Structure 1
Amino acid sequence: MARKTIEDLFIHELSDVYSAEKQGAKALPRLARAATNPALADTFTRHLEESHGQIERIDQFTELTGLKLKRMKCVAMEGLVEESKEILDEIDKGPVLDAALIAAAQKVEHYEIASYGTLIAMAKQLGLKAEAVNLLKQTLAEEKASDENLTRIAEEGGNQAAAKKS
Structure 2
Amino acid sequence: MIPELLEVIALVTSGVVAGVLFAVAVSVLPALFALPAGRYIETHRLLGKGYHPTMPIVVNVAMVADLWLGLVAEDSASRALFVVAGVLLLASQFVSHLGNVPINRRVKAVDPEAVPEGWQDPRPLWRGWHLLRTTLALVALAANAVGVVLS
Deviation string 1:25-75 (CA, Å, 9 cap, x unpaired) is 122111111141xxxxxxxxxxxxxxxxxxxxxxxxxxxxxxxxxxxxxxx
Post-superposition offset of 1:136: 0.9
Q: Share of identical aligned residues, percent?
A: 15
- Partners of 1:106 and 1:35 in 2: CA distance: 18
Is the alpha carbon distance of 1:13 and 1:99 closer, same or farther for their aligned partners in structure 2, counting shifts above 3 Å?
A: same
Post-superposition offset of 1:151: 1.0
Question: How many residues in Structure 1 have an aligned counterpart in Structure 2?
Answer: 99
* Match 2:61 to one of 92, 111, 118: 118
- Partners of 1:114 and 1:35 in 2: CA distance: 32
Alignment of 1:149 with 2:103, yes or no, is yes
Is the alpha carbon distance of 1:151 and 1:160 closer, same or farther for their aligned partners in structure 2, counting shifts above 3 Å?
A: farther
- Partners of 1:31 and 1:101 in 2: CA distance: 8
Partner of 1:20: 20
Q: TM-score, normalised by structure 2?
A: 0.54
**Unmatched tracts of structure 2, length 5 or more:** 71-78, 116-151
Is the alpha carbon distance of 1:126 and 1:134 closer, same or farther for their aligned partners in structure 2, counting shifts above 3 Å?
A: same
**Unmatched tracts of structure 1, length 5 or more:** 37-94
Deviation string 1:49-106 (CA, Å, 9 cap, x unpaired) is xxxxxxxxxxxxxxxxxxxxxxxxxxxxxxxxxxxxxxxxxxxxxx2x2332221342
Partner of 1:98: 40
CA contact (8 A) 1:10 1:122 kept: yes
- Partners of 2:15 and 2:55 in 1: CA distance: 13
Tell me which stretches of 4 or more aligned residues in structure 1 moved more than 4 Å. Answer: none
1:71-82 maps to which residues of 2 (within 5 A)?
none
- Partners of 1:34 and 1:107 in 2: CA distance: 19
